[in-house]
Amino acid sequence: MLKEAVLHRHGSDWVYALNRLEIVFRLRTGKNDLTGASLLWMDKYRVIREKPVNQTLPLVRVASDELFDYWEVVMKPEGRSLYYLFELSDIGSRLYYGNCGFYRQLPEEFRNWYEMPYLNEQDVFTLPDWAYDAVVYQVFPERFENGDKSNDPEGVSDWYGKVSSKTMLGGDLEGVIRRMDHIEALGANTIYLTPIFESETNHKYNIVDYYRVDPHFGDLETLRRLTSEAHRRGMRIVLDAVFNHCGTGFFAFRDLLENQEKSAYREWFDVRKFPVRVKDYPNYASYSYFGSMPKLMTKNPEVAKYLLEVSKYWIREADIDGWRIDVATEVDHRFWRDFRIAVKTLKPDALIVGEIWHDAAPWLSGDQFDTTMNYPFRQAVIGFTATGEISVTRFDEVLGELRGNYKRQAWLALWNLLGSHDTERFLYLCKGNRDMAKAGVLLLMTLPGTPMIYYGDEVGMTGGPDPDCRRGMIWDEAKQDREMLAFYRDAIGLRRRYRCLRRGDFETVYCRDDVCVYGFRRSDEAGSLDVYLNAGNEPHEIRFSGSVDACDLLSGRIYSSAEGSGSITLESLKPVVIEWRKPE
Amino acid sequence: MLKEAVLHRHGSDWVYALNRLEIVFRLRTGKNDLTGASLLWMDKYRVIREKPVNQTLPLVRVASDELFDYWEVVMKPEGRSLYYLFELSDIGSRLYYGNCGFYRQLPEEFRNWYEMPYLNEQDVFTLPDWAYDAVVYQVFPERFENGDKSNDPEGVSDWYGKVSSKTMLGGDLEGVIRRMDHIEALGANTIYLTPIFESETNHKYNIVDYYRVDPHFGDLETLRRLTSEAHRRGMRIVLDAVFNHCGTGFFAFRDLLENQEKSAYREWFDVRKFPVRVKDYPNYASYSYFGSMPKLMTKNPEVAKYLLEVSKYWIREADIDGWRIDVATEVDHRFWRDFRIAVKTLKPDALIVGEIWHDAAPWLSGDQFDTTMNYPFRQAVIGFTATGEISVTRFDEVLGELRGNYKRQAWLALWNLLGSHDTERFLYLCKGNRDMAKAGVLLLMTLPGTPMIYYGDEVGMTGGPDPDCRRGMIWDEAKQDREMLAFYRDAIGLRRRYRCLRRGDFETVYCRDDVCVYGFRRSDEAGSLDVYLNAGNEPHEIRFSGSVDACDLLSGRIYSSAEGSGSITLESLKPVVIEWRKPE
C-alpha cells in the first residue's frame, strides 16, 4: 500500500458538513492502490460510559486523477461527536489509518483515532439553491447593446468595427433590458455584468464612484428596472465587485494626490514614497503595475467598512442577486469573511463568485466565496478539443482533480467557462471550426458545474485576446450563426429539462485515448444520461447490450438493440446525449 | 521520484506570511526521496511588460517524519505578486512541480505555475512576542493554596488527603497571590488558571455566572490584585474560557427549565424535546452526555454576543493576558474568528490557546487560535521515556511531524505539556522513577514550544487519572521533593538564559535506536546548544572531534578534547546540555 499517497486531515475540508444533518468523510489514496476503504466510527462520549459499538460504512471511489483516487462517504452523526478512522484494504493486506498514522491492528487508544467534534450549523457551507440551476450569461455592457443613444460617450465607434483598448461603442444597461428576451430565449437565467460603476474606461475596472452607475450606462433607476425585469422573468443579476483597487479618480485617491502626506485618506493606500507618482511604475501598491489602479488597503478598517457598505448598498437599493469578485486572491481573507457575512446577512440567497484562475479551494471552504470562475475547466476543454494537446485520459484526470479538490457544494456549482472578457473566445481557439466549438459547448452544458456563456459566443462571435474578444455583440441576424444559436438553445434546454445534468452525480463510463472518445454519465434519483464525444477524426462505434433503446436527445435518433445488443456510431465531433429507454 | 508524496497547495498553509515582509514556501516530499529542491519565482505582473527573470532559491529540509521530508524557504516578495514553482531533483532526474502537476521542462504557461497573490498584512499570523518567552504554570485553583479561609466552601477536606470528584479543599485566588513567589522563583512567567467563575463544582467547568468570580475563590477585586501582582513581576495571567457549554445554574438555562417552550432563552440551547430532561442522557445538546453541561448555541447571535462580551469584560476589568479555550473543537469556527477579533482588538498582545487533543492545524492558520495544548508532544515524551513504547526514531518522527504540521509562528509556541488536570501526572506514568521524570522535564524545557508545568509536578507530586491528579498542592517542605524542585529551577533557568532554547531552530543530531540515545541542537544567531538524552539502561559514549570543550550546563562538567578528539559519557537517564567552547 502506498502510504505516502494517503491523505485525510480531521477538522479540515477532508471532513465537512454537507448540510445540517450530514457529514462527508473524504480520503485520498494512491491511484488504483486499494481494493476498498471503510469508515469506522463510534460515539466519542459513549466510550466513557459503556462499551462502544464500532460502526462501519464503506467508502465509494468518486473520482481519480493522474496520481490519486478520491473516496467519500456521507453519514448522519445525529448530534453526536465521533471518533473515526479508515480501514484500507489492498490485495492481501489491511491497514487502519488514523490520527497518528497507520496501524496493523485496530488501535485501542482513541488519541489514535480521528475526531469529528460536532456538527455546528455555523460551519455548514451553504450555497443558494438557485446556484445549482443557474445558466450564466456574461455581459460586457459597453459592447452588448446600445439601448439609449442619449447617454453615449463622445466619439462612439462603428458597432461592428475592430475594437482597441480605447474604443467606445455606447452599450448600456438599457441595452441589456431591451435584449433580455434574447438571453431568456437562449435559456440562461443569470446575468453577470462586468463593472457598471462610474469609470473612464470601457471596461470600468478602475472605478471612480462606487455609488454611481456609470452615466454612459444609465443610473440607479435603470439598474432597478434591469433587476426587476430580470426577477419578473425568474432571472438573476450578478454584478462585478472591484474591491482590490479603485481608479485614480476615486475621491480618496484624488484627495491623496491633492494633499499628499497630509491627506486624510493616506492610509487608504500603500504609498511607498511621496510625492505620489502615477505614471510608469507607480510608487504605491496597485493592481499589477498599473498606476491607474491603486490598491485599496482593506486592512484599514475605514476602507473595509466603506467597501462593505458598497456591497450592501447595491443589494438594498437595486436588489441584485450576487457579486462576482474581481482579483479575489489579492485581497485579504479576513475582508472576504466579513464580506460574506455582510452580504449573506442582508440577502441570504445572494451568490458570491470569486475570480480565481488557479485552484480556489482555500477560498471555498465555506467562510469566503460560494464558487469561482473555473478557468482550469476551460483549459482542459480547450486542450481536449480545440488544440488536442491533452489526451482523453488527461481530460478525465483534470475533471477528477476538480472533484477531488472541492467540497461537493462548490463542485456542483463551479462557474465553468469556455472564454471571458479576459481570454480569447472559444471559437477563435477552435480556429473557426464550428463543430469543435459545439462539442465544447455540449461539454459545458453537461459536465458538473454552472455553465457560463460569454456574450456572443452563442451567435458565433470570434475574437483573439483582449481587446479583440470584446467586440460589439452581433445583433444583425444575417451576421449571426443561427445554427450555433439553435445548438446553444438545444444544449441549454437539455440541461434545464434534466435535473441530473444540473445536480446529478458524475461517473466516467468511456475513456479511450487511441480513438479519442470520452463518455460520462450524469445521474440522480430520477434517472441518468450518458454523454459521448468523439474528438478524433474517424467515426467510432460503441456497442451496448440488453433489451434497451439508446435515444440521442440531441439528434432525436434512436439506436435500437437487436437480439440483445446494439451500437451507436459516434461521428467525429458530433456528441450524443443518450437516454436509455425500454423499447416500446 | 515519488510523485504521490509531493504536496504543496497555493493560497494555503503551505505558503504563508511569517511577518509583514517575509513569505514561507513549504513543500512536502517522500522521505529521503530528493537530493534537493528549489523555489523558482518571478514577478507576476512584470511578465506582462518585459522578459521576466527567473529567480532561484534553494529549499532547506527542515524536518522529517515516518514518511515525509518537509522543506522550507523564506523570501521577501517586496510588494510583488509572484508566479512560482518548485524544481525537484533526485539522483539523475529533475522535475518541475507547479499548479497543474509535474513537468519535465520548465512550463512556459503561467497557469502551470503557482501564484502568490499578495502579502496582505491582515493575513499575517501574529502571536504576541511574549508567547515565545513564556514558561507556563498551570494552577487548578481549588487545590493550589487556601489563602483566605473566610471564603471556604462548607465541609472542606484534609488538604493532603485523598481527593474524590466531590472533594473541596478551599483553594482560592488569594492563595495564588500568596504563592506567587514560589511560581516566580521556579522561573515560570505565565500562570494559566483553570476556570474561576461561579460554579458549584470544584473544577468549575459548569459555569453559573460568567461575570462573577466564584465566591469561594474571591471576587473581582481579588482577581485584579492577582493580575496586577503578576504584572508587577513581569508575569502574565491566562484564564479558562468555557464557552462550549454552561452549567445548569446559568441564568438562561434556569429560565429554560422554568418556562420550557416559552423561555426567551429557548434558542440559546438545542432542546430536542420538551419538557427538558437533565438527568441521565439529557434531551438537549450538551458536553458529552453530561446534563450538567448544556451546550451553548453559538450560532445564535445573542449567545455569540453574550460570550464575546464576557471575553472582553475580563480583559477590560481585570487586565488578564489571554484565554485558554475549553473544548475548543466543538464550537464553530466562525465564533472563534469573531472571538479572536474581539480579544485582539481590545488587547493586541493577548494570547489565545485552544484545548485541542489532536492535530490542531485547522485552528492555527492565523484566523482563530494562537496555539494549542500540545498533547501529541506529551504522548511522544511518555512513549520515549516513561513507557518506552516508542523508539528514538519514532520520537524524532513525531517531533518532525509537529514541525511539518504547523506554521512556524505556532510551532515555536505550542503549549507543550507532560500532564494536566485531565491526565495522569507524569511522575505517576514514570512509576515514581524520578530520573525518568527529570529526563522528561528536560525535554520539555529544551525542545521547541512553550513549556507548561502542572502545579506540583515541580515538587514531586504524583497522581493517577482525574480526580487523583488534582490533589492538594504540597507546600510542606518536608513532603516536597526539593531535589526535583532544584532540577526544575535549573532547567527553566537554562531556557530563560539561552534564547536559542526559546526561539532557536531545531535539528536532530543523534538518533540511535540500538542504544536509545537521542540528541538535538537548538540554535540561533547567538549560538547553539546540544541536548543529549540516553533513555537506555547502559551508559553510552558519544565522541566529538576538534579543538573544543564540551561544557554540560546541567552538571557544570567540562569534557575536553585531547589530541583533537574527546568523548562524553551519557549515563542512563542523565541528560546533558552541551555548550561547545573554545578551550581557554
- Rounded distance between C-alpha atoms, residue A364 and residue A353, angstroms: 10
User: CA distances (Å), B93 to each of B38, B96, B99, B104, B132, in order?
Assistant: 14, 10, 20, 9, 41
Closest CA of chain B from A5, distance in Å: 5
Judge: B298–A122 Cβ closer than 8 Å, yes or no.
yes
Instruction: For Cα atoms A262, A263, A267, give the angle at the middle one, nearest 5 degrees.
Output: 110
pLDDT of residue A98: 95
Judge: A337–B337 Cβ closer than 8 Å, yes or no.
yes
Contacts of A270 in chain B (CB under 8 A): 79
- Output the nine-digit C-alpha cell for A480: 449571426
Predicted confidence (pLDDT) at residue A349 exceeds the cutoff of 80: yes
Q: Are strands B60-64 and B68-75 parallel, antiparallel or unpaired?
A: antiparallel
Closest CA of chain A from B113, distance in Å: 9
* H helix or E strand, kind and range, residue B230: helix B220-232
Judge: A367–B115 Cβ closer than 8 Å, yes or no.
no
Judge: B120–A332 Cβ closer than 8 Å, yes or no.
yes
Residue of B nearest to A48 (CA): B288
pLDDT of residue B68: 98
Using CB atoms and an 8 Å cut-off, which of residues 162-191 of chain B contact chain A?
Answer: none
Closest in A48, A334, A376 to B123, CB measured: A334
Closest in B4, B118, B375 to A5, CB measured: B4
Q: Does residue A25 sit in helix, strand or coil? A: strand
User: CA distances (Å), A196 to each of A168, A200, A290, A306, B34, in order?
Assistant: 14, 11, 20, 18, 52
Give the predicted TM-score (pTM) of the model. Answer: 0.95
Residue of A nearest to B120 (CA): A332
B305 touches chain A (CB under 8 A): no
Please report, rounded to a whole number, the percentage of residues in chain A having pLDDT higher than 90.
92
3-state helix, strand, coil split of chain A in percent (to 5) is 30, 25, 45
Closest in A3, A10, A270 to B358, CB measured: A10
User: CA distances (Å), B496 to each of A205, A304, B491, B499, in order?
Assistant: 55, 42, 9, 7
Closest CA of chain A from B270, distance in Å: 10
pLDDT of residue A157: 98
pLDDT of residue B49: 59
- Optimal mutation site among A2, A3, A4, interface B, most CBs of chain B within 10 A: A4
Residue of A nearest to B380 (CA): A100
- Rounded distance between C-alpha atoms, residue A370 and residue A375, angstroms: 16
Judge: A332–B67 Cβ closer than 8 Å, yes or no.
no
* H helix or E strand, kind and range, residue A519: strand A517-524
Instruction: Just list the catalytic residues of A.
Output: 326, 355
Judge: A5–B10 Cβ closer than 8 Å, yes or no.
no
Q: Does residue A484 sit in helix, strand or coil? A: helix
Which residue do the cell numbers 516530499 mark? B29
A49's CB contacts (< 8 A; 6+ apart) are B289
Model pLDDT for residues B321-356, shown as the tens digit of each residue: 999 999 999 999 999 999 999 999 999 999 999 999
Closest of A195, A290, A309 to residue A248, by C-alpha: A290
DSSP alpha helix (H) spans, A283-412: 301-318, 333-346, 375-384, 392-405, 408-411
Contacts of A375 in chain B (CB under 8 A): 111
A2 touches chain B (CB under 8 A): yes
| Beta bridge partners of residue B528, listed in sequence order | B523
Using CB atoms and an 8 Å cut-off, which of residues 93-112 of chain B contact chain A?
Answer: 99-101, 111
- Output the nine-digit C-alpha cell for A50: 459503556
Judge: A333–B367 Cβ closer than 8 Å, yes or no.
yes
Using CB atoms and an 8 Å cut-off, which of residues 120-159 of chain B contact chain A?
Answer: 120-123
Contacts of B289 in chain A (CB under 8 A): 45-46, 49
Asked whether the beta carbons of B46 and B78 are under 8 A apart, the reply is no
- Optimal mutation site among B308, B336, B358, B368, interface A, most CBs of chain A within 10 A: B358
Q: What is the mean pLDDT of chain A?
A: 96
A178's CB contacts (< 8 A; 6+ apart) are A145, A147
A289 touches chain B (CB under 8 A): yes
ipTM reported for the complex, 2 dp? 0.94
Judge: B289–A45 Cβ closer than 8 Å, yes or no.
yes
Asked whether the beta carbons of A403 and A63 are under 8 A apart, the reply is yes
Read off the amino acid at residue B511.
C
Read off the amino acid at residue A84.
Y
Instruction: For Cα atoms A448, A451, A456, give the angle at the middle one, nearest 5 degrees.
Output: 155
User: How many Cα atoms occupy the beta-carbon half-sphere of A415 within 13 Å?
Assistant: 30
Closest in B285, B299, B379 to A122, CB measured: B299
DSSP alpha helix (H) spans, A115-250: 173-178, 180-186, 220-232
Contacts of A299 in chain B (CB under 8 A): 120-122
3-state helix, strand, coil split of chain B in percent (to 5) is 30, 25, 45
pLDDT by residue for chain B (584 residues), tens only, comes to: 999 999 999 989 999 999 999 999 999 999 999 999 999 999 988 876 566 667 899 999 999 999 999 999 999 988 789 999 999 999 989 999 999 899 999 998 888 999 999 999 989 999 999 999 999 999 999 999 999 999 999 999 999 999 999 999 999 999 999 999 999 999 999 999 999 999 999 999 999 999 999 999 999 999 999 999 999 999 999 999 999 999 999 999 999 999 999 999 999 999 999 999 998 789 999 999 899 999 999 999 999 999 999 999 999 999 999 999 999 999 999 999 999 999 999 999 999 999 999 999 999 999 999 999 999 999 999 999 999 999 999 999 999 999 999 999 999 999 999 999 999 999 999 999 999 999 999 999 999 999 999 999 999 999 999 999 999 999 999 999 999 999 999 999 999 999 999 999 999 999 999 999 999 999 999 999 999 999 999 999 999 998 899 999 999 999 998 888 999 999 999 999 999 998 87
A15 touches chain B (CB under 8 A): no
- Range with the lowest mean pLDDT among A22-36, A52-66, A203-217? A52-66
Predicted confidence (pLDDT) at residue A50 exceeds the cutoff of 70: no
Span A89-115, average pLDDT: 93
Closest in A67, A100, A331 to B4, CB measured: A67
Closest in B2, B335, B362 to A4, CB measured: B2
Q: Which residue has the higher pLDDT, A212 or B111?
A: A212
A66 touches chain B (CB under 8 A): yes
Residue of A nearest to B121 (CA): A299
pLDDT of residue B52: 65
pLDDT of residue B110: 86
pLDDT of residue B563: 85
Residue of B nearest to A338 (CA): B338
- Measured from the Cβ of residue B300, the count of other Cβ atoms closer than 10 Å reads 18
Asked whether the beta carbons of A529 and A438 are under 8 A apart, the reply is no
- Rounded distance between C-alpha atoms, residue A535 and residue A537, angstroms: 7
Read off the amino acid at residue B481.
D
* H helix or E strand, kind and range, residue B114: strand B114-116
Instruction: Just list the catalytic residues of B.
Output: 326, 355
- Rounded distance between C-alpha atoms, residue B370 and residue B186, angstroms: 25
- Optimal mutation site among B33, B49, B122, B123, interface A, most CBs of chain A within 10 A: B122
Judge: A66–B101 Cβ closer than 8 Å, yes or no.
yes
Judge: A358–B111 Cβ closer than 8 Å, yes or no.
yes
- Rounded distance between C-alpha atoms, residue A487 and residue A446, angstroms: 13
Judge: A100–B376 Cβ closer than 8 Å, yes or no.
yes
- Range with the lowest mean pLDDT among A43-47, A102-106, B323-327? A43-47
- Optimal mutation site among A32, A48, A120, A406, interface B, most CBs of chain B within 10 A: A120
pLDDT of residue A248: 97
Using CB atoms and an 8 Å cut-off, which of residues 342-381 of chain A contact chain B?
Answer: 357-363, 367, 375-376, 379
Closest of B171, B165, B134, B131 to residue B149, by C-alpha: B171
User: How many Cα atoms occupy the beta-carbon half-sphere of B520 within 13 Å?
Assistant: 24
Residue of A nearest to B405 (CA): A9
End-to-end alpha-carbon separation of chain A, Å? 50
* H helix or E strand, kind and range, residue B322: strand B322-325
Contacts of B81 in chain A (CB under 8 A): 288, 330
Judge: B367–A118 Cβ closer than 8 Å, yes or no.
no
Closest CA of chain A from B330, distance in Å: 5
A295-316 burial, b if ≥16 CB within 10 A, otherwise e? bbbbbbeebbebbbebbbebbe
pLDDT band at A32 (very low <50, low <70, confident <90, very high): very high
Read off the amino acid at residue B579.
E
DSSP code of residue B7: B
- Rounded distance between C-alpha atoms, residue A377 and residue B5, angstroms: 25
Which residue do the cell numbers 440522480 mark? A524
Taking only Cα atoms into account, the Rg of chain A, rounded to an integer number of angstroms, comes to 26
Closest of B67, B77, B165 to residue B117, by C-alpha: B77
